[in-house]
Amino acid sequence: MSIRTLRIGLIPGDGIGKEVIPAGRRILEALPASLKLKFDFVDLKAGFESFEQTGSALPDATVDVLRNECQGALFGAVSSPTHAVKGYSSPIVALRKRLDLYANVRPVKTVLNAAKPIDMVIVRENTEDLYVKQETTRDTPEGKVAEAIKRISEKASFRIAAMAGDIALRRQKIRESSPSIHSKPLVTITHKSNVLSQTDGLFRTVSKQALSDPKYASVAIEEQIVDSMVYKLFRQPEDYDVIVAPNLYGDILSDGAAALVGSLGLVPSANVGEGFAIGEPCHGSAPDIQGKNIANPIATLRSAALMLEFLEEPEAAAKIYAAVDANLEEGKLLSPDLGGKATTDEVVEDILRRL
């Protein structure tokens, strides 16, 4: 069997991104030789610091390298200014659009010894909804009125629901060889079609159509109105396997679900398109702890594994997940956000040893 080489872009961004992305590189480089997998890394720029230095938060050169030379990337974090800055917009949002990374995938999972086990994946449509950012403001006799366009398309809804179905099937296959709290695959379609009958109504209808494909015959399908979904997510999170939602609801649900496992420092994500994936920890740039060597690297390490899943390297991803879970289950070397005293480097070294 020949060795596969993956070219991976490394985009630290701002703040603690510069500390956790090198940790992601180390975990990939430490994977066992038996996997016959090698990596070629390229350092790339994006973020608010890049904007301040060059006038561009997402340089064209970064996009060109990712599009033409790389199979995947790791993205750290971005510092967002608290006030409007002319010419600045989020580079990760721009990357999603320019590379058509139409799905944001966020697993939320506790380890096996947790008091309340959780094992779900939130699959968020990444390209439309209110995030098309088409807003207007007009003056009326009663004062200003601001309006925003909510765009839901058949194409985007179909492909995000199909991805949710594919993830449900893949998770079920993994369960055949590892313990899980779920006995069968389940996809929960989340919407607000009882009020937004045209937009969310289309998302609901098309998602059900996509998941009616015979290949998803073993997947149970249910739906939840988004406000009910939030309530049940916090009351009974163990019930959920794969949740699929339009952009805004998916954003809110995934950040809320992160609170269920104790820290954003544990939660990975991947921005996924056709044949390309960017692993991205869910935490921010955390300028208050930048340079202190106390940032939790686990979200980045899990994001590296999630990237590998979508690059069709599930065995390599499983090795990383197992090493991270072993660190958390033992609980001796935890970062301060989890109540421990370990440094970033100490956590990484412990996970590398387990790998």
CATH number at residue 201: 3.40.718.10
Please tell me the predicted confidence (pLDDT) of residue 240: 95
Please tell me the predicted confidence (pLDDT) of residue 133: 84
Mean pLDDT, rounded, of the chain? 93
Is residue 113 located within the same domain as residue 254?
A: yes
Is residue 167 located within the same domain as residue 136?
A: yes
Please tell me the predicted confidence (pLDDT) of residue 324: 95
Q: Is the pLDDT of residue 179 over 70?
A: no
**pLDDT digits over 25-36, tens only?**
999 999 999 999
Rounded Cα distance, 318 and 323, in Å: 9
Residue 285 lies inside a defined structural domain of this protein: yes
Is residue 252 within 8 Å of 282, Cβ to Cβ?
no
Is residue 160 located within the same domain as residue 247?
A: yes
CA 213 to chain centre: 26
Is residue 234 within 8 Å of 118, Cβ to Cβ?
no
Residue 23, both tokens: 């940790």
In terms of pLDDT, which residue wins out, 180 or 250? 250
Average pLDDT over residues 300-320: 94
Please tell me the predicted confidence (pLDDT) of residue 58: 96
Residue 169 lies inside a defined structural domain of this protein: yes
In terms of pLDDT, which residue wins out, 273 or 179? 273
Dihedral sign for Cα atoms in the order 267, 273, 278, 284: negative
For residue 185, which of 160, 210, 208, 218 has the smallest C-alpha distance? 218
Q: Please count the structural domains in the chain.
A: 2
Please tell me the predicted confidence (pLDDT) of residue 113: 65
Q: Is the pLDDT of residue 1 over 70?
A: no
Residue 266 lies inside a defined structural domain of this protein: no
Residue 12 neighbours by CB under 8 Å, 6+ apart: 18, 21, 22, 47, 76
Is residue 133 located within the same domain as residue 214?
A: yes
Please tell me the predicted confidence (pLDDT) of residue 172: 87
**pLDDT digits over 225-261, tens only?**
999 999 999 999 999 999 999 999 999 999 889 888 8
Is residue 250 located within the same domain as residue 119?
A: yes
Residues of 72-83 as b/e, b for ≥16 C-beta within 10 angstroms?
bbbbbbbbeeee
Q: Is the pLDDT of residue 294 over 80?
A: yes
Rounded Cα distance, 190 and 161, in Å: 11
Residue 267 lies inside a defined structural domain of this protein: no
For residue 281, name the pLDDT band (cuts at 50, 70, 90): very high
Q: Is the pLDDT of residue 178 over 70?
A: no
Q: Which domain holds residue 127?
A: 107-260
Average pLDDT over residues 202-223: 97
Rounded Cα distance, 204 and 192, in Å: 9
- Angle ∠(346,109,130) on CA atoms, nearest 5: 110
Q: What is the DSSP string of 262-285?
A: T-GGG---EEEETTEEEE--SS--
Residue 50, both tokens: 């890049």
pTM of the model: 0.90
Average pLDDT over residues 152-158: 98
For residue 304, which of 20, 13, 4 has the smallest C-alpha distance? 20
In terms of pLDDT, which residue wins out, 265 or 345? 345
Residue 18, both tokens: 């510069």
User: Which backbone phi and psi does 101 adopt, to 5 degrees?
Assistant: -85, 85
